[in-house]
Amino acid sequence: MVDIIITGEAGKLHAVYHKSANVGAPLAVVLSGNPRQKYHMNDRVSYAMFRAFMDIGFSVVRFNYRGVGDSEGLIGTTSENMLDIATVIDWIQNHNEDSDKIWLAGNQLGAWYVLQAMMRRPEISGFALVSPDASVSDFAFLSPRPNRGLLLQGAMESDESRAFATHLTQILKKQAQIDLETIRVKGADAAYSQPADLRQMYSDLKAYVGRENAEDKLL
């Protein structure tokens, strides 16, 4: 993996990129959580998501939104962060023109960004939501978009977060016609603070994406 700079709307975006040795390998973009709550591309969960895709042969990139770490500009609004996400998706696609599949994975607020990006990008092949932010409740942007995805959550997250995940699953299936699989990591909190919990989250994500991507190859 290498550090790279991507030119964004507000200046340079700092990213880390791994390019698969396999020509035409599927792509992935990893989205971290709310930068105002100190989430960034090198936090433990973002790195684990990145490694899950990397270790099953994807070309994958993670990055800091504007105003975070070495990315230029001021911390952005949702619409501004979505512009950064679109820039990074375009970048990895332009640098891998032989690939026809791309996945998105996001943690916390990044999970919401995954869903918004998927509604705007019909080429998204699949997605993963890791402990989505339960304080977000605007579902107005969802429209029918048949797709497959995974929701990962710590089994020891708050009652509110677990109830919210159940509600989100119902909304996605009904409003967006999404086939969503949910996995709760036994003993884990929302930060996957114990090494064993983080490894289990990584393993569950890797197994799901590997299985779904293999099934796509048969279609």
Q: Are 109 and 133 in contact (CB under 8 A)?
A: yes
Mapped onto helix, strand or coil, the DSSP state of residue 141 is coil
Domains of the chain in start order, with CATH, are: 2-218 (3.40.50.1820)
Confidence of residue 216 (pLDDT cuts 50, 70, 90): low
- Residue 106 gets the label, from left (phi > 0), alpha (psi -120 to 50) or beta, of beta
DSSP state of 52: H
Residue located via tokens 């995805």: 149
Confidence (pLDDT) at 218: 40
pTM: 0.94
81 CB contacts (<8 Å, ≥6 apart)? 65, 66, 113
Across the beta sheet with 59-63, what order do the strands follow?
2-8, 11-18, 59-63, 27-31, 102-107, 124-130, 148-154, 179-185
Confidence of residue 217 (pLDDT cuts 50, 70, 90): low
2 CB contacts (<8 Å, ≥6 apart)? 16, 17, 18
Confidence (pLDDT) at 129: 96
Report, as an integer, the average pLDDT of 83-99.
Answer: 96
For 69-87, the pLDDT digits (tens) are 999 999 999 999 999 999 9
Residue 22, pLDDT above cutoff 90: yes
Residue 192, pLDDT above cutoff 90: yes
